[in-house]
Amino acid sequence: KQEVTQIPAALSVPEGENLVLNCSFTDSAIYNLQWFRQDPGKGLTSLLLIQSSQREQTSGRLNASLDKSSGRSTLYIAASQPGDSATYLCAVSVSGAQKLVFGQGTRLTINP
């Protein structure tokens, strides 16, 4: 059974810092891995999707890496801004299955 864990559960940093969010998964047989952003009470916004054959993806100040063999992914946020405050969720799509398996998320607060 695939399990996804995100550490830390919450993170508070001052504006301008670079930061890393971590995601680990137990079964390396994944189809892809996705990072989402969720604002309070809202739906999910897809940030980055990494196919199982890829090592990383970049979008603006965001960079996500994937190491399937160790079951880990990181989301790097450069030059953080107060508008980056949200919950960040990692999800894996399991090969041969139809569902996304999510971690519990990291609640990020960027202090001005």
Partner 1 sequence: ETGVTQSPTHLIKTRGQQVTLRCSSQSGHNTVSWYQQALGQGPQFIFQYYREEENGRGNFPPRFSGLQFPNYSSELNVNALELDDSALYLCASSLGGQETQYFGPGTRLLVL
Q: Round to the nearest angstrom and report the end-to-end CA distance of the chain.
A: 41
Regarding 100 and contact with partner 1 (CB under 8 A), the answer is yes
**Listed ranges 13-21, 59-67, 75-83, 86-94: which one lies at the site for partner 1 (CB under 8 A):** 86-94
SS3 state at 84: helix
* Chosen residue from 50, 101, 108, 110 binding partner 1 by CB under 8 A: 101
C-beta of 9: minimal distance to partner 1 in Å? 9
Phi, psi of 24, deg, nearest 5: -130, 150
Q: Can you say whether residue 26 is alpha, beta or left, with left for phi > 0 and alpha for psi between -120 and 50 degrees?
A: alpha
**Listed ranges 12-20, 62-70, 71-79, 92-100: which one lies at the site for partner 1 (CB under 8 A):** 92-100
Write the burial class of residue 74 (CB in 10 Å: 0-12 exposed, 13-18 middle, 19+ buried): middle
Site for partner 1 in 17-36 (CB under 8 A): 31-32, 34, 36
Regarding 97 and contact with partner 1 (CB under 8 A), the answer is yes
Regarding 49 and contact with partner 1 (CB under 8 A), the answer is yes
